[in-house]
Amino acid sequence: MNLSPLQKARYEYSPKLPGMLRNGIAEIAVKEGEKTTSAADQEKIAELFPNTYGEPEVTFEKGQNTSASKKQVVGVILSGGQAPGGHNVVSGLYDALKATNKENVLIGFKGGPSGLIEDNFIVFDDAYINEYRNTGGFDIIGSGRTKLETEEQFKIATEVCKKHGITAIVIIGGDDSNTNACVLAEYMAAHKTGVQVIGCPKTIDGDLKNEDIEISFGFDTATKTYSELIGNIERDCNSAKKYWHFIKVMGRSASHVALECALECQPNICLISEEVKAKKQSLSEIADYIADAVEKRAADGNNFGVVVIPEGVVEFVPEFSALISEINELLAGSKADAFNALESWAEKYAFIEKGLSKEAMEVFAILPQAIQQQLFLERDPHGNVQVSLIESEKLFAALVGDKLKARKAAGTYTGKYATQTHFFGYEGRCAFPSNFDADYCYSLGYNAFMLIQYGYNGYLSKVSNLSRPAEEWVAGGMPITKMMNIERRHGEDKPVIKKALVELDGKPFKYFEAHRDEWAVETSYVFPGAIQYYGPTEVCDITTRTLALEQGK
């Protein structure tokens, strides 16, 4: 492998552990807190998880290590989308495991959860692990989106564990993967397999958080990467003074990423999907809202600006999600063949016009033709429109253009409007982890092993007090059942970890709300610059504005 100078330098970085884990394995004691109950639907969750429900929160502290001294064989899985720091979770886990007993073994299942079912694995050693320390990506073993959720899969997983003598599995994933980790933990306990299951909170989307999990790993680095790019665009924009930039940022559903970038960069506009839904805003209203800022800035001679759009926004526009449902219905089953057999767009348009309700057609009709066609091209394996593939940055650039044309005709707007569109997503998911993510992830992995060593099952590795220096971080674990409630998914009531959306009464949104009118009209840009790995702590080790605001900083 050819190594960049930065990669070589990052190999030498020693991630910072919480103070309580720094004294060596022999001095890590455990303290159990109160018994826990689930976030909601306590009776139902207790009934579904009789072996893993109600366990206590645990915290590690300096003291005599009293864990059992059996040999551990641990399997690790990376699940879902990449998030910077995954390699450090694995290296932290490996280091704690080897520091406890040189004979302990860490097995990596390749390509995500399917690796466990297919028994596709590698056994880690020092040389292999060392190549991945403090690097981005999930290429150490690869990731995948197969879900481990059926009884059949659990049976196979048990067999694979038996074959390798596995004593514990660590699943590094988001809310769904950790929900499944919890179900697997219950299965393993109910069937007395002796296999423990521990989860680690991952996702750049930042939507796996709650009163116990302050932040999912990867969010810090990904948002810093996007903020660097947005800041650069703001500076270019303020230099050339000729474009409105529409920038879509990743985050499948929640708008945490967009909001954090807005707090970092102070663009003119940032849409927040959760607010769009709460206010039942239509596409036309959103376009008017942006056009108002364009018009006001034009009146000051500023025919430029930056608009940040969360990836999932269209799904939160009530009229648009109604349109999507109708389109899914219109093309359900064999009806799609009849549609696809039509040759020209005019014929297809007539088919659509006939099939959609008047309300849905009104929404469809205002969309640019490219977006209309995307709605009929991209289907997921279940035959649904893939909303995340809709180029909403282009959609809003065009809708605002239409509004401005009308305003020009009415004589209220006399500015110039030229646009550039961007999508920042994959470029943030595998960046070298920031010092925060490098430290946090290493701690999560190290801590996950301590939970295993102390015999816990169905726990999420938890490191908290994160807006303070690492020395003051608190390491421990939380039963996953504590984060659960019952939700309706695919027509069934399911126990799931509650997905965290942006809270409109939360401090990060409130701060944004209090400043956005000023940012819309003024040029208040902030340029965060590239992630810094070396230098003063206040530049290199700071975490997100979201976390700081949430923790009252």
Cα–Cα separations (whole angstroms), residue 246 to 183, 204, 260, 297, 319: 41, 21, 17, 16, 22
8 Å CB contact between 444 and 201: yes
250 binds ligand FBP (CB under 6 A): yes
Whichever of 174 and 508 has its CB closer to ligand FBP, that residue is: 174
Residue with tokens 């004589």: 411
Collapsing DSSP states into helix, strand and coil, what is residue 80?
Answer: coil
Tell me which residue of 81, 70, 39 sits closest to 497, measured CA to CA.
39
367: left (phi over 0), alpha (psi -120 to 50) or beta: beta
Q: Does 81 bind ligand FBP (CB under 6 A)?
A: yes
- Closer residue to ligand FBP (CB): 219 or 525: 219
The least CB distance from residue 139 to ligand FBP, in Å, is 14
> Could you tell me which of 199, 233, 228, 203 has the C-alpha nearest to residue 216?
203
Binding site annotation covers 203? yes
Q: How far apart are CA 429 and CA 139, in angstroms?
A: 12
Shortest distance, position 183 Cβ to ligand FBP, whole Å: 18
Q: Which stretch binds ligand FBP (CB under 6 A): 29-37, 61-69, 247-255, 273-281?
A: 247-255
Shortest distance (Å) from residue 354 CB to ligand FBP: 33
Q: Is 311 annotated as a binding residue?
A: yes
Distance CA 215, CA 212 (A): 9
CA atoms within 13 A on the CB side of 382: 6
Pick the catalytic residue from 41, 95, 176, 205: 205
Shortest reach from residue 203's CB to ligand FBP, in Å: 3
Is 61 known as a binding-site position? no
Binding of residue 204 to ligand FBP (CB under 6 A): yes
242 labeled binding residue: yes
Instruction: Output the smallest distance, CB 251 to ligand FBP, in A.
Output: 5
- Beta-strand pair 105-109/269-270: unpaired
Query: Residue 435: which of 65, 110, 84, 200 has the closest Cα?
Result: 84
Integer-rounded Cα radius of gyration of the chain = 25
Q: Which strand (E) or helix (H) includes residue 463?
A: strand 459-464
Stretch that binds ligand FBP, among 49-57, 186-194, 249-257, 333-341 (CB under 6 A): 249-257
Q: Which stretch binds ligand FBP (CB under 6 A): 30-38, 201-209, 296-304, 534-542?
A: 201-209
Residues comprising the chain, all counted? 553
Which of 114, 203, 443, 457 is in the footprint of ligand FBP by CB under 6 A?
A: 203
Q: Does 251 bind ligand FBP (CB under 6 A)?
A: yes
Closest CA to 207 of 499, 528, 3, 510: 499
- Identified binder of ligand FBP from the candidate list 84, 115, 136, 174, rule CB under 6 A: 174
**Least distance between ligand FBP and beta carbon 143 (Å):** 8
> Does 41 show up as a binding residue in the annotation?
no
Q: Please give the sequence-ordered ranges of beta strands (E in DSSP) within 174-312, or none if there are none.
A: 196-201, 244-249, 269-270, 305-310
Within 418-477, the residues that bind ligand FBP by CB under 6 A are: 429
Interacting positions 382-401 with ligand FBP (CB under 6 A) = 388
Q: How many CB atoms lie within 10 A of CB 420?
A: 16
Look up 212 and say whether it is catalytic.
no
- In DSSP terms, 475 is beta-bridged to 463
Q: What residue type is assigned to position 65 of the chain?
A: N
Cβ density class 55-82: b for 16+ within 10 Å, e for less: bbbbbbeeeebeeeeeebbbbbbbbbbb
205 binds ligand FBP (CB under 6 A): yes
Q: Find the shortest distance in angstroms from Cβ 409 to ligand FBP.
A: 38
Name which of residues 132 to 171 contact ligand FBP (CB under 6 A): none
If the CB atoms of residues 95 and 176 are measured against ligand FBP, the closer one turns out to be 176
Least distance from C-beta 250 to ligand FBP, angstroms? 4
Tell me if 11 is assigned to a ligand binding site. Answer: no
The number of residues that bind ligand FBP (CB under 6 A) is 13
The span from the CA of 441 to the CA of 443, in Å, is 5
Q: Among 80, 108, 267, 476, which residue interacts with ligand FBP (rule: CB under 6 A)?
A: 80
Residue 221 within binding range of ligand FBP, rule CB under 6 A: no
**Residue 311 within binding range of ligand FBP, rule CB under 6 A:** yes
Q: 82 near 143, Cβ under 8 Å?
A: yes
Instruction: Give the separation between CA 237 and CA 308, rounded to whole angstroms.
Output: 14
Segment near ligand FBP (CB under 6 A), from 41-49, 109-117, 250-258, 476-484?
250-258
Q: Is 220 annotated for ligand binding?
A: no
Interface stretch with ligand FBP, choices 191-199, 248-256, 467-475, 544-552 (CB under 6 A): 248-256
> Which residues are marked as active site?
205
Annotated binding site for diphosphate: 81
Residues that bind ligand FBP (CB under 6 A): 80-81, 83, 174, 203-205, 250-252, 311, 388, 429
Which residues define the annotated binding site? 81, 175, 203-205, 242-243, 250-252, 311, 426-429
Give binding residues for substrate as ranges.
203-205, 242-243, 250-252, 311, 426-429
Binding site for Mg(2+): residue ranges? 175
